[in-house]
């Protein structure tokens, strides 16, 4: 029963956060988005390699 309460609270808080971010969030330009996505794939690769090393040695 506690699991359903926790899931319900998570969904309500997610709904509130998404609503507030859509209303008050900053709009990014194409140049800002390009700068952000430039770093996305290398960071994903680094995190995958780090998790692989953690799984192998720890």
What is the span of the domain harbouring residue 31?
Answer: 2-57
Tally the domains of the chain: 1
Could you tell me the pTM of the whole model? 0.52
38's tokens = 């430039």
d(CA 38, CA 18): 25
**pLDDT tens digits along 20-51:** 999 999 888 999 999 989 999 999 999 999 99
Mean pLDDT of 5-19: 97
**pLDDT at residue 1, rounded to an integer:** 85
d(CA 38, CA 43): 10
């Amino acid at each position: 029963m506690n699991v359903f309460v926790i899931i319900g609270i998570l969904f309500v808080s997610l709904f509130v956060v998404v609503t507030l971010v859509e209303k008050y969030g900053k709009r990014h330009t194409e140049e800002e988005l390009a700068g952000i996505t430039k770093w996305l794939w290398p960071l994903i690769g680094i995190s995958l390699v780090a998790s692989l090393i953690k799984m192998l040695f720890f």
